[in-house]
Amino acid sequence: MTNSSITSDIVKVGAGSSAAETRRKIIEKSLKKRHSREKRFRRLGLAAVTLGMLFVAVLFASVLYRGLPAFWQSAMPLNVYFDPAIIKIPAQPVKQANETPAAFESRSLAWQGQLAQVNWDSILLNSMINASPKVAPELKDANKYIALNQQMVDNPDAFSDEKLAANPALAAEVHAMEAADTKRTTLLSLFENGENVRLRDMVKKDPSLIGKTEKVTFWAAANVDVWLSGKIDRSLPDDQQQLSPEVRQMADQLKAEGVIQNKFNTPFFLNPDSRSSPATSGLAGAFVGTLYMMLIVLVFTIPVGVACAIYLEEFAPKNRWTDLIEVNINNLAAVPSIIFGLLGAAIFIGAFNLPRSAPLVGGLVLSLLTLPTVIIATRASLRAIPPSIRQAALGLGASKMQSVFHHVLPLAIPGILTGVIIGLAHALGETAPLLLIGMKAFVAAVPHSPMEPSTALPVQVYLWQGNELRNFFEARTAAAIIVLLALLISLNTLAIWLRKKFEVRW
């Protein structure tokens, strides 16, 4: 009905028309304002939801943008000749029949000490020189200046400035020698610290390598990688650069020749953390630590949590003690995680004397954190099962416990699993309690048991975030976050898939 027809109707009726008409006019006038207010409100709601989703997108985009480049790093795949002339060591000791284990240990250690004395740097250099003849042709002959060097050491007076000024040929030779030395140091600084130790470890594991040629991928030093990947401003003056001009120029030259390439960053996944060789630091130690902790959390929370939930839901009498337990569990679910860290520090480390920074202590603290979540999720899934199932079992003569364990619990397992996985995913990302039980320390080895000191993925992110080599470690931190988020997303997807697959609508 149009407005005019309503008006004409009321005019026809003619009862109190002026008051009704004014009322209607007022309402009509405000209608436009009210409709626009409604539209604005609706748009505001949509904007809020969009803003929330935008935050998620920005977070993921910035992490991916900063982290993905760290998965490729500058490396040098070179052919390494294990020159027997350089590696002059006796054969590896073999255990004799009448030798005590301690004596054999000391003999092996002595052999390893001799192995450490070998000039691995020159093997590194030779492999680099062979790969790129244009770069340092004058270094090919390593023994060229040995005699001259010995003379300088034995008789320094013969090489004083006046004598050199008098004898230009000798001066030229000395300068050439010093230039070769500088070139050698420059070339070596392109390799990350510890790459020579890698060669030593290869020979220690397999002494038959001596005399053979192997292809080895060496990793460039962190600052070299920063320079080559453009993370530092190339126009900065020399005193603000991290590398000397010679090293920078050599790095560019080798990159142009193809000796230095971008390779997939496998040390990131296979190596433990390292402070002396940042380019080969990795997540392996943190990963294993987190794995141990997750195992301990599973082993502890599933039996205790499910048992507690079954008791509270099925068997507990309705009295004050049960109320107390329920209130306790709900409170524990809302306690900040750092308090659990304090509990771990005071009781597990202080009173029980468990080893500091061990995955055992971390796992126990995280289990206490996850326990309320598992209990609440299990109770919810037990409650969702209709009473008819329990009553049918009881009606057929089962006891209460038989009905619970044989009928109710198997039906509740999907819900329990979902709750456990969600709780586990939450515990995976916790950092604060682990910092308080000592995982702030730097751990350079992969732990072999849950009792050895270790670190965890989120703590590793925290430690790398504080590293002073900012332009190298910023990308690495973001890459570690990508790994952490990938793990979490896969756990959550597993939980959602389980829930969808086994969900039963009663």
Partner 1 sequence: MNLLLIGILLILMAMAYTLGLKRSKSLAGKGSNSSLLHSRPGYYGSLVALWCGVPALLLLMLWSFFEPIVVRHVVLQTLPTDVVASLQGAQWDAFLERLKNIASGYGVADQPLDYEVKAAASLKSVLNIALLAKMAVVFAAATAGLVYALRKISPQLRARNSVEKFIKVVLALSSGVAILTTLGIVVSMFSEALHFFKFVNPLTFFFGTDWSPGFSESGQATGGYGLLPLLWGTLMISIIAMLIAVPVGLMAAIYMAEYAKPGFRNIAKPVLEILAGIPTIVYGVFAILVVGPLLHYLGSLIGLDINATSALTAGLVMGIMIIPFISSLSDDIIIQVPRALRDGSLGLGATKSETIKNVVLPAALPGIMGAFLLAVSRAIGETMIVVLAAGNSPLLHANPFAAVSTVTVTIVNQLTGDTDFASPQALVAFALGLTLFVITLGLNVVALIIVRKYREQYE
44-63 binders of partner 1 (CB under 8 A) = 44-49, 51-53, 55-56, 58-59, 62-63
Out of 150, 391, 399, 493, name the contact with partner 1 by CB under 8 A.
Answer: 399
Is 152 a binder of partner 1 (CB under 8 A)? no
| Minimum distance of partner 1 from residue 208's CB (angstroms) | 30
C-beta of 264 vs 315, nearer to partner 1: 315
C-beta of 17 vs 399, nearer to partner 1: 399
Helices assigned H by DSSP within 229-358: 245-257, 267-270, 284-310, 320-334, 337-343
Out of 15, 19, 85, 102, name the contact with partner 1 by CB under 8 A.
Answer: 102
| Minimum distance of partner 1 from residue 22's CB (angstroms) | 17
| Minimum distance of partner 1 from residue 487's CB (angstroms) | 10
Q: 27: helix, coil or strand?
A: helix
C-beta of 23 vs 175, nearer to partner 1: 23
| Minimum distance of partner 1 from residue 372's CB (angstroms) | 7
Out of 152, 180, 339, 469, name the contact with partner 1 by CB under 8 A.
Answer: 339
State which of positions 379-398 bind partner 1 (CB under 8 A).
Answer: none
State which of positions 264-323 bind partner 1 (CB under 8 A).
Answer: 303-304, 307-308, 310-312, 315-316
Locus of tokens 């939450």: 426
Is 153 a binder of partner 1 (CB under 8 A)? no
- Please choose, from the candidates 376, 387, 384, the residue with its C-alpha nearest in 3D space to the C-alpha of residue 325: 376
The answer to whether the beta carbons of residues 455 and 431 sit under 8 Å apart is no
Angle at CA 171, nearest 5°, toward 170 and 175?
120
State which of positions 207-246 bind partner 1 (CB under 8 A).
Answer: none
Q: What is d(CA 243, CA 228) in angstroms, rounded to the nearest whole number?
A: 11
Is 24 a binder of partner 1 (CB under 8 A)? no
C-beta of 51 vs 147, nearer to partner 1: 51
Locus of tokens 């040995």: 146
Structure tokens at 259: 């000796």
Which range in 6-14, 258-266, 350-358, 389-397 contacts partner 1 by CB under 8 A? 350-358
Q: Identify the DSSP state of 455.
A: -
State which of positions 163-202 bind partner 1 (CB under 8 A).
Answer: none
C-beta of 81 vs 405, nearer to partner 1: 405
Query: Alpha-carbon torsion 82, 87, 88, 94, what sign?
Result: negative
State which of positions 444-483 bind partner 1 (CB under 8 A).
Answer: 458, 461-462, 465, 474, 477-478, 481
Q: 83: helix, coil or strand?
A: coil
Structure tokens at 377: 């999720």
C-alpha 202 chain-centroid distance = 27
Out of 79, 213, 328, 490, name the contact with partner 1 by CB under 8 A.
Answer: 328
Is 64 a binder of partner 1 (CB under 8 A)? no
- What are the phi and psi torsion angles at 174 (to 5°)? -60, -40
Is 415 a binder of partner 1 (CB under 8 A)? no
Out of 217, 449, 492, 493, name the contact with partner 1 by CB under 8 A.
Answer: 492
Which range in 159-167, 346-354, 381-389, 442-450 contacts partner 1 by CB under 8 A? 346-354
CA count, 13 A, side-chain hemisphere, 484: 25
Q: What is d(CA 472, CA 479) in angstroms, rounded to the nearest whole number?
A: 11
Buried-exposed string 176-193: b where 16+ CB fall within 10 A, e elsewhere: ebeebeebbebbbbbbbb
- What are the phi and psi torsion angles at 399 (to 5°)? -80, 170
Q: What is d(CA 368, CA 366) in angstroms, rounded to the nearest whole number?
A: 5
